[in-house]
């Protein structure tokens, strides 16, 4: 059984004039110790997906359907009280901006002790010992000193290390990291990503990494999901998708990267932009921007087809697979 299994999850935002469908039937799973990347551009729904796992969707958002099974129990159906036992304890979360998640008027030590004592009945002294241990794990220089410092006394990279230390406090099964390095400089970003990867491997923690950076996904994750307009359009082993993407959107996303183009030549570009949730196109949401779009694509959302180890939702890919099969049959 997978550690986390999301089935047909539907998340909506109730606004004037009807519901906005932020997630439309997404399904994926996460095994123990596995590292999964969630890729997409802004508005694709990747952060909503991450937040909904811990039922952190704020009103007017709500989970309209589907299951989120963690060790077999449905998080979507749990009471707030039960959920609190899991949040930060069994499933921890790391956000983009460390200054937003740290309380500016409490010392690092106070915040860490508070987090531990919220879940475990232990003394302050013991809690401080755990906090110190985690700060050492994230390789902060002079960790004892940091416990008595306030967030503003630390640099951006250091703050994100503290956030990772807090996420590790209670030995979680899963860490959900939402763009953890986007606000940081290139060299610091590389350090933090390497640290997160090392720690997840050492402690055998599963990682769900949300990012728009395909380079980072390629370095850190084993499997990846590509999201577009509230749907997963492609999922499978990271290496396989990066080397040989099936969906026209994923292909476009990879080919649009400057590192894929010849220096000085025009880059590959996907025309248009992601549709807003207010007017999602019928059928495949990508069809208005797709080179391969046919009448069929405008009618209904394509089903997933399997190509190698990758699941893709695209009529064009399905047709190609069908053709290949027929050719093989004809040969034999």
Partner 1 sequence: MTSPLVKIRSLEKRFDLSGSLLEQLRFENGRFRRKQEAVHAINGVDLDVHKGETLCVVGESGCGKSTVARTVMGLLSPSAGEIHYDGERIDHLDGKAVQPYRRKMQMIFQNPYASLNPRMTIQQTLEEPIRFHYPQWSATEVRDKVHEVMHSVGIDPDWGSRFGHEFSGGQRQRIAIARALAVDPEFIVADEPISALDVSIQAQVLNLLMDAQESCSLTYLFITHDLAVVEHFGTRVAVMYLGRVCELADTKTLFATPRHPYTQALLSAIPRLEDDRPNHIRLQGEVPTPVQLPSGCVFHGRCPYANDRCRQEIPQLIATDGGGQVACHAVEEGRL
Tell me the C-alpha distance between 320 and 326, whole Å.
10
Strands 206-211 and 91-94: unpaired
Tell me the C-alpha distance between 65 and 74, whole Å.
12
Q: Give the distance from CA 296 to its chain's centroid.
A: 31
Q: To which residue do tokens 């949401």 refer?
A: 285
Q: Give the distance from CA 114 to its chain's centroid.
A: 27
Task: Select 15 or 194, whichever has its Cβ closest to partner 1.
Answer: 194
Name the segment binding partner 1 (CB under 8 A); options: 152-160, 277-285, 298-306, 312-320: 152-160
99 lies in the binding site for partner 1 (CB under 8 A): no
Task: Select 122 or 194, whichever has its Cβ closest to partner 1.
Answer: 194
Q: Give the distance from CA 10 to its chain's centroid.
A: 16
CA angle 319, 321, 322 (to 5 degrees): 60
Tell me the C-alpha distance between 316 and 319, whole Å.
5
Contacts of 328 (CB under 8 A, 6+ apart): none
Q: How far is the CB of 215 from partner 1 (least distance, A)?
A: 3
Q: Give the residue, chosen from 8, 42, 298, 325, that forms a contact with partner 1 under the rule CB under 8 A.
A: 42
254 lies in the binding site for partner 1 (CB under 8 A): yes
Name the segment binding partner 1 (CB under 8 A); options: 60-68, 109-117, 164-172, 248-256: 248-256
Q: Give the residue, chosen from 142, 187, 202, 328, that forms a contact with partner 1 under the rule CB under 8 A.
A: 187
Task: Select 47 or 89, whichever has its Cβ closest to partner 1.
Answer: 47
Three-state SS at 293: coil
Tokens of 10: 């539907």
Q: How far is the CB of 29 from partner 1 (least distance, A)?
A: 23
Q: Give the residue, chosen from 56, 106, 242, 301, that forms a contact with partner 1 under the rule CB under 8 A.
A: 242
For partner 1 (CB under 8 A), the number of binding residues is 44
186 lies in the binding site for partner 1 (CB under 8 A): yes
Q: Give the residue, chosen from 18, 85, 261, 308, that forms a contact with partner 1 under the rule CB under 8 A.
A: 261
Binders in 189-208 for partner 1, by CB under 8 A: 189-191, 193-194, 197
In this structure, the number of other CB atoms found within 10 A of the CB of residue 16 comes to 5
Tell me the C-alpha distance between 133 and 107, whole Å.
17
Binding site for partner 1 (CB under 8 A): 41-42, 155, 157-158, 185-191, 193-194, 197, 212-216, 218-220, 239, 242, 252-254, 256-261, 263-264, 266-271, 273-274
């Amino acid at each position: 059984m997978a550690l986390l299994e999301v089935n047909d999850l539907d998340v909506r935002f109730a606004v004037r004039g009807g519901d906005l469908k932020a997630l439309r039937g997404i399904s994926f799973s996460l095994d123990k110790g596995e590292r999964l990347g969630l890729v997409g551009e802004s508005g694709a729904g990747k952060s909503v997906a991450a937040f909904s796992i811990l039922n952190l969707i704020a009103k007017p958002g709500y989970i309209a359907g589907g299951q989120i099974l963690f060790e077999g129990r449905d998080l979507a159906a749990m009471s707030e009280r039960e959920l609190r036992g899991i949040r930060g304890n069994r499933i921890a979360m790391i956000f983009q901006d460390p200054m937003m998640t740290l309380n500016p008027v409490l010392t690092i030590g106070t915040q860490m002790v508070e987090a531990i004592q919220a879940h475990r009945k232990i003394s302050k002294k013991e809690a401080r010992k755990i906090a110190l241990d985690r700060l050492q794990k994230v390789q902060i220089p002079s960790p004892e000193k940091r416990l008595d410092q306030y967030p503003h006394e630390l640099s951006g990279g250091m703050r994100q290390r503290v956030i990772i230390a807090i996420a590790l406090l209670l030995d979680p099964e899963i860490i959900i990291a939402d763009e953890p390095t986007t606000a940081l400089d290139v060299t610091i970003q590389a350090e933090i990503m390497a640290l997160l990867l090392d720690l997840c491997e050492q402690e055998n923690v599963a990682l769900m990494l949300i990012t728009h950076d395909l380079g980072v996904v390629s370095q850190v994750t084993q499997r990846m999901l590509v999201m577009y307009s509230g749907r997963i359009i492609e999922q499978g082993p990271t290496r396989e998708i990066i080397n040989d993407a099936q969906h026209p959107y994923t292909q476009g996303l990879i080919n649009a990267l400057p590192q894929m183009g010849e220096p000085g030549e025009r880059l590959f570009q996907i025309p248009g932009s992601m549709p807003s949730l207010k007017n999602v196109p019928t059928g495949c949401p990508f069809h208005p921007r797709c080179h391969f779009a046919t009448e069929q694509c405008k009618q209904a959302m394509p089903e997933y087809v399997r190509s190698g180890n990758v699941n893709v939702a695209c009529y064009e890919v399905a047709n190609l697979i069908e053709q290949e099969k027929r050719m093989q049959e004809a040969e034999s």
